């Protein structure tokens, strides 16, 4: 963080802390034993911060909430950035996806209208998801929703206890005694509320119509109307140290199409045209190189694949959320905390923690292992 950004970050923190001290008192505490689960009918799930992958990791909470509160109305607050709201749309179990951007704060009239609508919902509980930080905005929205019970991680571990003291009635202790997978960190919020856990997988609902539209995309490409024996690959990653060399993706593609006679679909991001161009020059066998799609179309297309190979980046969690088997190349990030859980999500990371040392053969072995795995 450069000096200018650090200055404004620190200034923002000072303003937030001052506002809390002046305008808010400590919220009354409600213990988990005091929560009557059977009486909860309206739920607000707040996931208004963090990157796309982090938001997708928190989706494992949704099926557990649905099971714990059958028939309850569930609303979600999400950001418009990175199409995060699209993660929750078209889900029959979710009543409404409420979009909120921090830009709303610059228009007092819009903020007031938003808050009136939010409060009119009369939520019984607001659950603030997240495992790597606590968000002032998310906590404030939970508080201003008027929900009697407001649960999320205690801010002490993150140096934000002032925030959670003011806005949460049921702060969840953050277990620092163990290194734990980030999905389990999110789910621990529900465990603390005495909610039984039946699901630890990412969750994104894709409709039958969306899958049919994805098949039409394939048909129009003259690639094939059938997706049996198909492998997807994504070339990019926002963090350069997380990018497996494009040359190896090309070698992998040629092996899959040549030796294994598989169909290969290659994906890339809006800012990764250069990677796609480089791949086209390197690859020898015919593949489908798919131009970037909106998130839900991309997710629907992934849902038709047998296996998806990618770097440690947000699209890994999109694939996991729609139930696709995955092989991920990891570098600096710990896959034991971030790779999707389950035996159909495999990863490769070498002792030097560099993607550049990951070999073609290591990835091939993982793909072949997943192809032998029964659905």
Do 163 and 68 fall within a single domain?
yes
If residue 328 lies in a helix (H) or strand (E), which one and from where to where?
A: strand 325-329
Residue 132 covered by a domain: yes
Among 166, 192, 218, the domain boundary falls at 192
Do 365 and 222 fall within a single domain?
yes
Please state, in angstroms and rounded to a whole number, the distance separating the CA atoms of residues 104 and 114: 9
Do 148 and 222 fall within a single domain?
no
Range of the domain at 83: 25-192
The first and second tokens of residue 10, run together, are 């620190």
CA quadruple 256, 228, 204, 375: dihedral positive or negative? negative
Do 184 and 212 fall within a single domain?
no
Do 142 and 258 fall within a single domain?
no
pLDDT interval class at 3 (50, 70, 90): confident
**pLDDT per residue as tens digits for the range 13-35:** 888 888 888 888 899 999 999 99
Residue 183 covered by a domain: yes
Do 173 and 57 fall within a single domain?
yes
Do 181 and 287 fall within a single domain?
no
Share of the chain above pLDDT 70, in %: 96
pLDDT interval class at 82 (50, 70, 90): low
What CATH code is carried by the domain that includes residue 232?
3.40.50.2000
Do 314 and 366 fall within a single domain?
yes
- Tell me the pairing of strands 170-172 and 42-47: unpaired
C-beta of residue 187 within 8 angstroms of C-beta of residue 162: no
Residue 177 covered by a domain: yes
Among 192, 224, 258, the domain boundary falls at 192
Please tell me what DSSP assigns to residue 148.
S
Residue 216: strand, helix, or coil: helix
Residue 268 covered by a domain: yes
Alpha helix (H) ranges present in 149-224?
Answer: 161-167, 182-192, 208-220
Sheet architecture: strand order including 149-153:
96-99, 73-78, 42-47, 125-128, 149-153, 170-172
pLDDT interval class at 106 (50, 70, 90): confident
Residue of 31, 73, 147 whose CA lies nearest to 138? 147
Q: Looking at the 3D structure of the chain, how many domains does it have? A: 2
Per-residue buried b or exposed e for 117-153, using 16+ beta carbons within 10 Å of the residue's own CB: ebeebebbbbbbbbbeebbbbbbbbbbebbbebbbbb
pLDDT at 192: 97
Please state, in angstroms and rounded to a whole number, the distance separating the CA atoms of residues 215 and 219: 6
Residue 337 covered by a domain: yes
Residue 16 covered by a domain: no
Do 182 and 220 fall within a single domain?
no
Please state, in angstroms and rounded to a whole number, the distance separating the CA atoms of residues 290 and 57: 25
Which whole number is the average pLDDT over 52-76?
A: 94
Do 357 and 280 fall within a single domain?
yes
Phi, psi of 264 (to 5 degrees): -125, 130
**pLDDT per residue as tens digits for the range 188-240:** 999 999 999 999 999 999 999 999 999 988 888 766 655 668 999 999 999 99
Residue 158 covered by a domain: yes
**pLDDT per residue as tens digits for the range 280-310:** 999 999 999 999 999 999 999 999 999 999 9
Residue 228 covered by a domain: yes
**pLDDT per residue as tens digits for the range 141-187:** 999 999 999 999 999 999 999 999 999 999 999 999 999 999 999 99
Among 143, 161, 192, the domain boundary falls at 192
C-beta of residue 159 within 8 angstroms of C-beta of residue 130: no
pLDDT at 224: 60
């Amino acid at each position: 963080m450069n000096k200018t950004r650090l200055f404004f970050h620190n200034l923002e923190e000072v303003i937030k802390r001052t506002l809390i001290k002046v305008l808010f008192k400590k919220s009354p505490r409600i213990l988990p034993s005091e929560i009557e689960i059977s009486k909860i009918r309206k739920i607000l799930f707040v996931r208004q911060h963090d990157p796309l992958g982090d938001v997708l990791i928190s989706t494992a909470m949704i099926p557990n909430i649905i099971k714990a509160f059958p028939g309850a109305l569930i609303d979600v607050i999400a950001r418009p950035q990175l199409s995060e709201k699209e993660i929750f749309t078209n889900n029959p179990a979710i009543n409404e996806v409420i979009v909120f951007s921090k830009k709303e704060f610059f228009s007092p009239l819009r903020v007031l209208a938003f808050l009136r609508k939010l409060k009119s919902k009369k939520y019984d509980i607001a659950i603030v998801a997240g495992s790597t930080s606590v968000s002032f905005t998310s906590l404030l929205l939970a508080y201003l929703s008027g929900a009697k019970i407001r649960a999320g991680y205690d801010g002490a571990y993150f140096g934000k206890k002032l925030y959670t003291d003011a806005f949460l009635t049921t702060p969840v202790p953050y277990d620092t005694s163990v290194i734990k997978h980030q999905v389990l960190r999110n789910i621990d919020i529900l465990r603390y509320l005495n909610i039984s856990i039946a699901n630890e997988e990412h969750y994104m609902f894709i409709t039958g119509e969306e899958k049919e539209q994805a098949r039409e995309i394939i048909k129009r490409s003259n690639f094939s109307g059938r997706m049996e024996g198909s492998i997807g690959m994504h070339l990019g990653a926002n963090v350069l140290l997380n990018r497996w060399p494009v040359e190896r993706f090309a070698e992998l593609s040629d092996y899959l199409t040549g030796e294994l006679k598989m169909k290969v679909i290659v994906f890339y991001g809006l800012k990764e045209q250069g990677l796609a161009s480089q791949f086209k020059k390197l690859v020898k066998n015919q593949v489908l190189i798919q131009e970037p799609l909106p998130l839900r179309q991309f997710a629907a297309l992934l849902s038709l694949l047998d296996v998806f190979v990618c770097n440690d980046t947000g699209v890994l969690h999109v694939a996991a959320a729609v139930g696709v088997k995955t092989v991920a190349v990891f570098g600096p990030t710990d896959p034991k905390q971030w790779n999707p859980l389950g035996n159909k999500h495999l990863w490769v990371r070498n002792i030097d923690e560099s993607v550049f040392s990951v070999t073609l053969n290591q990835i091939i072995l993982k793909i072949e292992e997943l192809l032998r795995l029964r659905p």
